[in-house]
Amino acid sequence: MPVNADAVGRSYGPFEPYEVTRVKIREFADAVDAYSGAYRDVAVAQAEGYADLVAPTTFAVVIAQKAEFHVVTDPEVGVDFSMVVHGEERFTHVRPLVAGDVISTTVHIDSIKQRAGISMVTTRSELVDADGAPVSTVYSTLAVREA
């Protein structure tokens, strides 16, 4: 069954806020081979002007993918997850995420384009901090093949 193109415009969340921790930042920095001391050493991060450890550029995907999960598992959208390939990704940061941030995310289905048995589903996750101030926008496009 193809993806339901009428799902464009749907929004999900905000969900239980995500707490950014030092442990998770260090783990992610190791996983993507990020070298900077500001990802691991609080004193280094503070000397560079940050409140706490800085998250690498793509760390926001950890938070965004949790939100996107609600889209791909919504039966009314109809994504067969075993047929999904990641097409595109984009991060726009107002400021870097830092340890201690408490982030709420709302995800929107921005577009669904269908051609030749493939649906391109683009979501936009808006990440805001505990004060409601925007931190990052994460765009993700999934290519869903029809089974």
Least separation, in Å, of the C-beta of 31 and other proteins? 4
Position 1 contacts other proteins (CB under 8 A): no
User: What is the Cα–Cα distance from 38 to 55, expressed in whole angstroms?
Assistant: 8
Give all strands (DSSP E) within the chain, no chain letters. Answer: 11-12, 18-19, 84-93, 102-115, 118-128, 134-145
Integer-rounded Cα radius of gyration of the chain: 17
| CA-closest candidate to residue 113, choices 135, 95, 88 | 88
Q: Which range of residues in 5-13, 26-34, 106-114, 125-133 is near other proteins by CB under 8 A? A: 26-34
Position 72 contacts other proteins (CB under 8 A): no
Q: Scanning residues 80 to 139, which ones bind other proteins (CB under 8 A)?
A: 81-83, 85-93, 95-96, 139
Position 79 contacts other proteins (CB under 8 A): no
DSSP, res 53: P
Select the residue interacting with other proteins from 3, 12, 20, 61 (CB under 8 A). Answer: 61
| CA-closest candidate to residue 4, choices 95, 124, 109 | 109
Position 28 contacts other proteins (CB under 8 A): yes
Q: Which residues bind other proteins (CB under 8 A)?
A: 24, 27-28, 30-36, 38-39, 45, 47-50, 54, 56-58, 61-62, 65-66, 81-83, 85-93, 95-96, 139
